Structure 1
């Protein structure tokens, strides 16, 4: 994981009861806890490891509307407002800047895809623009690639994942949320046909509602209760450079690399054209749901059968609430980064913008992403288990919408008017 992750000390004693229990200390769960605490609703957030230990601190930090499907844009717009308000809301800055995001096209086919997206969101009145070759060179100077063009949204932005979720959690705790770290939830307690609490390794806590925001662990947790959530894992490798002079403050995504400025003056870089796809047993169980994605992403997924398959197979899929669960065996999912992919990204970037020849790598890491068949999350109440709401399956773009997704999940869990129309995120679509 990134060595810049900010950690903090929290409660160690599990309360006996509360109104809402949140499972998972990533940005969505923490945002929900912050929302509920501000509404004076008793809430306990329980995290098996430490807050933001997994993908919430390992992502690229992009906050974008660009290239999101039209039905997902309202949540992104709501998130923009919440990110803007965050310093006043939590009393700290988390590196948020609306510096813009640009996706450049190397071919006419790639540019046509950007144009199609641009047309699909015209009714939403975004500030997105289609750029010419010359406009790309003007906004991101010093390159030697004649890009066909680009799509650019000036109001898109970034924040620092190593700071944001932890800072929000600290604020939530100050406002009354109880946050318990290093405590795994083993399962749900049921009474009279609905959720009555959760069983943890420290004992049971009773509640009226449970919100599951467990990221890549959500599928395993739900399967214990007879709910099949179709998600599969992908691993994204990332590097951060030492402080250096760069071409722009705009975050840039190319077909085979991306970069964005880090608050310390370096750059966060990844191979945007490839992700590792470790084969697991779940591929045999739900892989057929992804055939359409595979047809459109040939060459994008680096499929591997190896250690990840064995490690995943060793983890139980059924367990007693009175014995250690898989979540206690692996407190923090910490996949090894792919040095080859990072090298590809940096080489491709140097070829496009030679000033990155001066780049020195400060650190590298990887994160495990949970992907749904349509790459949209599930934020919904689960009809089969009254009292349970889930917010998961964010498919690698949950950080940007995290504050809004957490608020929407809190709304649904407590019966408040939803922040945005939740229809695009209903579980039934899957």
Structure 2
């Protein structure tokens, strides 16, 4: 089951024309739409299912600079500023709390890796620092783990995924954006080699620019028009506890668990040391691009060949303007790995016994689109003028979504970008 998203009422009528069409109603597409609407640009968001129905509402809600690639930190810093103003910008509390994020190290070797990251970003003037075991106990009391130390960034934090996308969508609509659910885009149309519109299941919409923010569906959509985007799926299983007296308001990531406070008084928990990696045909096609990442993440992935392979294989890869796979599967809803959730429960309870008596209120799973270097693509497609991508966020999209959406909007309208977009260029693959 998926978390319950704060409800909003979207449009039921498709316009015949607009300036920008955004394909995908996840948090990246919605923040781009809000930015464009605030600038007076006519924008329509088309979502095949429900807004934020996939990973945008299923993620952990972490907003962090810590342990990001150095070239990705400026986007996270810009997002911090935008998250801090999000309640005022949308008129809603999205649960943003700058309570800090801590990454625990069980061994000196793990701590050395955290120190190496800290050294690599020393020029960025972050407030990250190394904590001793005694300082960990002061920050997160009641622990029974034996920690070599931790990497802690006080200015990191979190927000509530089930609130944020709805608030951003409502704010965008208030400023004139049109958001339509249950309307899959089948293809783009071109005139003189340039984008001139999109073909949807309800008919054609003319436009000047298209922003593809389709998450897990972006690779298949682009494949239909002859463009290869390297992304592969991973699945994260999560559970939320009932309200309890927990050890800290900071988010904490251990080697094999993580937790953070939820707005209802419980905690969002996952097995941070393992992700499901369901095999697909795409692993055969583009898997070689991931060899370096696989070597560095050895032991993290639980690889399986099962139902997802056959379901993925049965979905069309070429459909031109006809019915698309996005009309067959409106929402990607992977099965929960209860075994991984139980591992997270055992590991967390051993480290902080206060969690031994927790109750589990709900569980869910979400599918993440991973690029070979775990950085997204936010860039124009060179051989398709008028098409821009904002996709492949590799599980990091929620935290950087305000700045990522603004950067995408900047590129679509040829404005000065909020940060240097070079790390996110499509051509790097």
TM-score interval (norm. to shorter): over 0.9
CA–CA separation in structure 2 for the residues paired with 1:392 and 1:12? 26
What's 2:23 paired with?
23
Q: In the alignment, does 2:177 pair up with 1:197? A: no
Shift of 1:7: 2.4
After TM superposition, list the pairs within 5 Å mapping 1:92-131 onto structure 2. 92-131=92-131
What's 1:157 paired with?
157
What's 1:247 paired with?
247
Secondary structure in structure 1 of the residue aligned to 2:85: helix
CA-to-partner distance for each residue in 1:134-178, whole Å, 9 max, x for gaps?
A: 111110110011200000000001000011001100110010000
Shift of 1:295: 1.1
After TM superposition, list the pairs within 5 Å mapping 1:207-246 onto structure 2. 207-246=207-246
Q: Is the 8 A contact 2:376 2:424 kept in 1?
A: yes
What's 1:328 paired with?
327
CA–CA separation in structure 2 for the residues paired with 1:310 and 1:193? 36
Q: Is the 8 A contact 2:252 2:260 kept in 1?
A: yes
CA–CA separation in structure 2 for the residues paired with 1:144 and 1:339? 25
Shift of 1:109: 1.1
CA–CA separation in structure 2 for the residues paired with 1:3 and 1:154? 28
What's 1:57 paired with?
57
Secondary structure in structure 1 of the residue aligned to 2:76: helix
CA–CA separation in structure 2 for the residues paired with 1:159 and 1:422? 25
TM-score when normalising by structure 2? 0.99
After TM superposition, list the pairs within 5 Å mapping 1:286-301 onto structure 2. 286-301=286-301
Shift of 1:2: 3.4
CA–CA separation in structure 1 for the residues paired with 2:121 and 2:140? 25
CA–CA separation in structure 2 for the residues paired with 1:71 and 1:292? 18
After TM superposition, list the pairs within 5 Å mapping 1:226-375 onto structure 2. 226-321=226-321, 323-375=322-374
What's 1:14 paired with?
14
CA-to-partner distance for each residue in 1:79-132, whole Å, 9 max, x for gaps?
A: 001100111111011000000000000011110110000001110000111111
CA–CA separation in structure 2 for the residues paired with 1:3 and 1:259? 17
Shift of 1:53: 0.2
CA–CA separation in structure 1 for the residues paired with 2:260 and 2:178? 34
Secondary structure in structure 2 of the residue aligned to 1:127: coil
CA-to-partner distance for each residue in 1:314-364, whole Å, 9 max, x for gaps?
A: 10000031x210000000001111000000001000000000011100000
After TM superposition, list the pairs within 5 Å mapping 1:69-108 onto structure 2. 69-108=69-108
Q: Is the 8 A contact 2:3 2:57 kept in 1?
A: no
CA–CA separation in structure 1 for the residues paired with 2:320 and 2:412? 26
CA–CA separation in structure 1 for the residues paired with 2:325 and 2:2? 24
Q: Is the 8 A contact 1:79 1:403 kept in 2?
A: yes
Q: Is the 8 A contact 1:257 1:345 kept in 2?
A: yes
Shift of 1:4: 2.7
CA–CA separation in structure 2 for the residues paired with 1:421 and 1:174? 30
CA–CA separation in structure 1 for the residues paired with 2:104 and 2:233? 27
What's 2:379 paired with?
380
CA-to-partner distance for each residue in 1:295-318, whole Å, 9 max, x for gaps?
A: 111211000000000000010000
Gaps of 5+ in 2: none
TM-score when normalising by structure 1? 0.99
What's 2:3 paired with?
3
* Number of residue pairs aligned between Structure 1 and Structure 2: 429
What's 1:169 paired with?
169
CA–CA separation in structure 1 for the residues paired with 2:298 and 2:41? 47
CA–CA separation in structure 2 for the residues paired with 1:10 and 1:240? 28
Gaps of 5+ in 1: none
After TM superposition, list the pairs within 5 Å mapping 1:136-147 onto structure 2. 136-147=136-147
Q: Is the 8 A contact 2:103 2:151 kept in 1?
A: yes
Shift of 1:239: 0.3
Q: In the alignment, does 2:399 pair up with 1:397? A: no
Q: Is the 8 A contact 1:257 1:348 kept in 2?
A: yes
CA–CA separation in structure 2 for the residues paired with 1:385 and 1:228? 13
CA–CA separation in structure 2 for the residues paired with 1:413 and 1:320? 24
What's 2:420 paired with?
421
Secondary structure in structure 2 of the residue aligned to 1:227: coil
CA–CA separation in structure 2 for the residues paired with 1:266 and 1:19? 43
CA-to-partner distance for each residue in 1:255-292, whole Å, 9 max, x for gaps?
A: 10000000000000000000000000000000010111
